[in-house]
Structure 1
Amino acid sequence: MLLVYCPYCKVKRPETEFSCRGQAHIARPANPSEVTDEEWVEYLYMRDNTKGVYAERWRHIHGCGRFFNAVRDTVSDKFLTFYKAGEPCPDLEALAKEAGK
């Protein structure tokens, strides 16, 4: 079982307390009324499927209920860092090097 750290509660808890919500740092279109159907499909459904270090959005559903981000190696399932929503994405290449990837 994975242990996930909530940067708001400041606790490490089993993954069953959390829900992964997919790729982090997806920007909503600035002018939704001007977006084409193809652009909406791209925004809503198309995500990277990275093998390696990947930034994900998580929610502490059985705790504070807040969203936060985590960087995880999708090959080893090892979490590299956790950070609050709204904070910038860390340098994924540097984290991969630190992890020996």
Structure 2
Amino acid sequence: MRINCPNCGERDRREFYYVGDAVAMDRPAPEAGEAAWDDYVHNRDNPAGVTRDLWYHESGCSAWLVVTRDTRTHAIEKVELAQAIKEAGA
């Protein structure tokens, strides 16, 4: 899989570190209990289809990227700088 970094251009995915789903998660309160924290840390959706993932360009420009891709084919639809998304309020 190749990721087109907005700063560096197209690169092999081995230059990037996959972080996970790019959707904000509600962090439990410190006193929420073991079950709530276990769910927060370990349980994630694993959808088949289009997802938005957070990647870090570890061996490149050190940018945080949001990659929209199809998990069934790994076809990448869009790559955006996470900072630009944050600034746009999306």
Give yes or no for TM over 0.5.
yes
What residue is the counterpart of 1:64 in the other structure? 61
| CA RMSD, 1 decimal | 1.8
Instruction: State the AA in 1 paired with 2:48.
Output: K
What residue is the counterpart of 1:19 in the other structure? 17
What CA deviation, in whole Å up to 9, does each residue of 1:34-56 have, x standing for no partner?
Answer: 32222212221111111111111
**Which structure 2 residue ranges, 5 or more long, are not aligned?**
none
* Identity, % of aligned positions: 27
Residue 60 of structure 1 and its aligned partner are, at CA, apart by 0.3
- Output the TM-score relative to the length of structure 1: 0.71
Take 2:8 and 2:25, find their aligned partners in 1: how far apart are those partners?
A: 27
- Local SS of the residue matching 1:51: coil
- Output the TM-score relative to the length of structure 2: 0.78
**Which structure 1 residue ranges, 5 or more long, are not aligned?**
89-101
Structure 1 stretches (4+) deviating beyond 3 angstroms?
Answer: none
Instruction: State the AA in 2 paired with 1:6.
Output: C
